[in-house]
Structure 1
Amino acid sequence: MLDYISAINLPAFLLIFVRVTSFFVTLPIFSYRNLPTQHKVGFSFFLAALMYFTVDIPDLAVDENYFLLIFKEAAVGISVGLLAYIILAAIQIAGGLIDFQMGFAIANVIDPQTGAQSPLIGQYMYIITLLFILAVNGHHLMLDGIFYSYELIPLDRLIPLQEESWILYIVDSFNQMFVIAFLMAVPIVGCLFLVDVALGIIARTVPQLNVFVVGLPLKIFVALFVLVIAMTFYIMLIQNLFELMLETMQGLMQLFGGDES
């Protein structure tokens, strides 16, 4: 047993374990508070043990470069997982824009997954997104992304910090997230804008009608009605958003690996 343990390259296993654990710190679904920390660490350990016998293990020496590799593995896992979370955050931003027009902006709820306040409609759409990801085995695709990251970013290769391509890529992905959130909120926000215009015309033509009392329930009814109609299109947008998240993760790992194609 001792001979078997001594035959294992412990420095390489530690690097794999650090990357997998860092992924689970920020990766959607796996990083939520609903999962106990002990389960995350245990799952990371067994997943790292499986990857140790499937990826190419280089000869590593414990020197000053090895500690840089440890920081590199942690940075890769945290940054790629955080970028994936930022892409999915477009749904909550879109929900926040919708809630602001509906009048639900003062009724935020506590998200048990992150511990932060989130809008009602945004939380509703975000839960549907998570259920969609689980239904299509999207969490398996995320684990595949962790596994294939070793083909793009080998264990013994550092991140090219002198290049600014990966920084521009993150900024572009961040901007793209806001564009997606705006496009998701446009149908309902546009309908509510037309309701505001109609209420303004009614207030000028029928001064006896109190539009402040009628307006809020009317906007809530119209928004929920349009949301039910547009839910089919939102499912298609969620599918495209999930595909974009996987492509964004792959693109960032390619830039970290030194491949700018």
Structure 2
Amino acid sequence: MIPTEISADLIGQWVGQHLWPLFRIASFLMVVPIFGTQLVPARARLGLALLITILIVPLLPPAPQVEAFSADAVVITLQQILIGVGMGFAMTALWQLFVVAGQMIAMQMGLGFASMVDPANGVNVPVLSQIYTITITLLFLAMNGHLVMFEIFIESFRTLPVGFEGLGQVGVWELAHRVSWMFVSAMLLALPAVSAVLIVSIAFGVMTRAAPQMNIFALGFPIGLIFGLFSIWVLHANFLPHFEQYTRETFEFMRNLQGQP
């Protein structure tokens, strides 16, 4: 017979089996690039989170038995949100790496004023950063990176099961230090083009010192811009190996964040 009353234990069982995984998946989809941008409606992200939750719930280990409206349930919910946001932030750092590299190159070569609104984030970014963002998005989808990303994320339910233990203090510190990795990698990516444009600027400075009559602003800006575009064209041939390396490092970081070797 169908029970006429829904007991507190039954509600707690439903919460443990479906709601907590839904919190982790939904928070991940709200932060991760491609799926968490403004181009994807919130209803579509929520529907995808519900679909993934229904598919993976039978494969998950049993959830802890706690009361649905207790302090322990709130702690577990916050832990799931922190895990989802943390792993989504690891992927966001990969995208922002190329945005920062594009900003560095654009500012050095004089293209910093040429900005446009990024439809994904709703902020102004240099055109070069937008080109880099479109390029890595297409490469990521072409390499089936989104499938690998979801595979690693689903593995987190096995390595970090639903419970009172989340990322912990060590995981939070690793996420904070990930910002430094983003800036260091962006600087290494932009260093060849920035150095090439800097050499041109130094050469014009020496020429101005030797011939003060020469207008450095009239000659240096267009030549530096042309040389910067040439540097970007030359360095674009090695764009794919850099993207593969940074993507591999990001996936390894997501696994290490879960405690996997």
Q: TM over 0.5, yes or no? A: yes
Q: 1:128 to 1:160 in 2, by over 3 A?
A: closer
- The answer as to 2:14 corresponding to 1:10 is yes
Instruction: Note the 1:1-261 alignment, pairs <5 A.
Output: 9-11=13-15, 12-62=17-67, 63-159=70-166, 161=168, 164-254=169-259
Counterparts of 2:253 and 2:96, CA distance in 1: 14
Change (3 A) 1:53 1:76: same
Structure 1 residue identity aligned to 2:200: V
CA distance in 1, matches of 2:64, 2:133: 44
Contact 1:101–1:192, Cα closer than 8 Å, also in 2:
yes
CA distance in 1, matches of 2:116, 2:59: 43
Runs of 5+ consecutive residues of structure 1 not aligned to the other structure: none
Distance 2:185 2:2 in 1: 54
Which amino acid in 2 is paired with 1:93?
A: V
TM-score between both structures, scaled by the size of structure 2: 0.89
- The share of aligned pairs that are identical, in percent, is 23
Output the TM-score relative to the length of structure 1: 0.89
Q: How many residues align?
A: 252
Superposed CA deviations along residues 103-151 of structure 1, whole A, max 9, x for unmatched, are: 1222221110011121221221121111110100111111112211111
Q: For residues 53 and 218 of structure 1, do their structure 2 counterparts lie closer, same or farther at Cα, with a shift above 3 Å needed?
A: same
Contact residue 98 and residue 185 of structure 1 kept, 8 A: yes
CA distance in 1, matches of 2:104, 2:243: 17
Give me the whole-angstrom Cα distance separating, in 2, the residues matched to 1:223 and 1:2. 72
Give distance in 2, aligned partners of 1:219 and 1:2. 77
Q: CA RMSD in A?
A: 2.1
Check whether the contact 1:80–1:253 (CA below 8 A) recurs between aligned residues.
no
Q: Is the 8 A contact 2:197 2:227 kept in 1?
A: yes
| CA deviation map 1:65-92 (0-9, x unaligned) | 1221111111110122113212331111
Aligned partners of 1:80 and 1:198: how far apart in 2? 46
Mean CA deviation greater in 31-40 or 81-90: 81-90
Deviation at 1:160, TM superposition (A): 6.5
Is there any run of 5+ residues in structure 2 with no aligned partner, and where?
none
